[in-house]
Amino acid sequence: MGDAADDESAGDDPVGAPSPAGDLADLEPEPPSVVEVFGAQVQTARAYARLLATDGVIRGLIGPRETDRLWTRHLLNCAALTDLIPHGARLVDVGSGAGLPGLVLAIARPDVQVILVEPLERRVRFLLEAIDRLELDNCEVVRSRAQDAGPSAGGADLVVSRAVAPLGRLAGWCSGLVRPGGTFLALKGSSAEEELVRDADEVRSAGLIDAAVVRVDGPAGPAFVVRATRTADRPIRPRRANRGRAGGKPVRPTNPRGRTGH
């Protein structure tokens, strides 16, 4: 789920339009740990899994080969971040795509306020529909690249990201959205340690310190998270392309449950 500029037609996938019925036959059977992880929100998590397996596949946000491992590889993997998030935090998900991990965290942690930052129009429309259908009142969507999202998404307690970009580049994009003393969390694979060693200078240049890989042993297997702290010093900003592009603005859903920032 890249974090690139988007000029797609606003006519694709209009919010509220009916989507073709998807086939749930290939959806991975629900692991027993899902109830433990999502607790009182388990029905919402199930509805989100069904939405990903149907509309998510139809719209090209989830590969059709991912549905038979949707719980273990995606939802439960993302939920591994929940124990690293303090109560009541304001959290930004950069390059949210289909809502992984942002919507998973909003479901599992209703105490957390989640801002989904996503530049692509068709993905933004899917996120707005998901917030509406899942009746989430702790989410908002900002259509923007991370580099431009500061006016609407800056000052966050945490910035999280998954499968967006190499660590060094991601750190440069995200650090300006984290308040001083806040936390950067990048959900990576088993090569996270090697990636951190390779990109350590870029991470420090972005104003992130004390970077380390945290292994979280969850019900779907280990998850590897690069965690770092934002310094009070102003980070070195990456050079911005497409300087004529307007800064990110919150996108207003059709249903008031999907909150917008101001």
Q: Which domains does the chain have, with CATH numbers?
A: 33-235 (3.40.50.150)
Q: 8 by DSSP, 3-state: which?
A: coil
162 annotated to bind ligand: yes
| End-to-end C-alpha distance for the chain, whole angstroms | 26
Cα dihedral value 109, 113, 119, 125, nearest 10: 70
**Where does residue 99 fall: left (phi above 0), alpha (psi -120 to 50 degrees), or beta otherwise?**
left
Provide the pLDDT for residue 245.
35
Report yes or no: 27 and 56 within 8 Å, Cβ to Cβ: no
Provide the pLDDT for residue 219.
84
Give the integer Cα–Cα distance in Å for 87 and 235: 27
Over pLDDT 90: what percentage of the chain?
74
146 annotated to bind ligand: yes
Mean pLDDT on 93-113: 98
**Residue 44: pLDDT band by 50, 70, 90 thresholds?**
very high
Mean pLDDT of the chain: 85
Residue 195 in tokens: 């990636």
Provide the pLDDT for residue 151.
86
**Residue 21: pLDDT band by 50, 70, 90 thresholds?**
very low
pTM of the model: 0.83
Contact partners, residue 221, CB within 8 Å, separation at least 6: 72, 77
Higher pLDDT, 150 or 128: 128
Q: Is the pLDDT of residue 72 over 90?
A: yes
Task: Please count the helices (runs of H) and the strands (runs of E) in the chain.
Answer: 10, 8
Q: Is the pLDDT of residue 19 over 80?
A: no
Mean pLDDT on 98-127: 98
Least confident span in 184-188, 192-196, 234-238: 234-238
100 annotated to bind ligand: yes
Q: Is the pLDDT of residue 73 over 50?
A: yes
Over pLDDT 70: what percentage of the chain?
80
| 197 exposure class (CB count in 10 Å sphere: 0-12, 13-18, 19+) | exposed
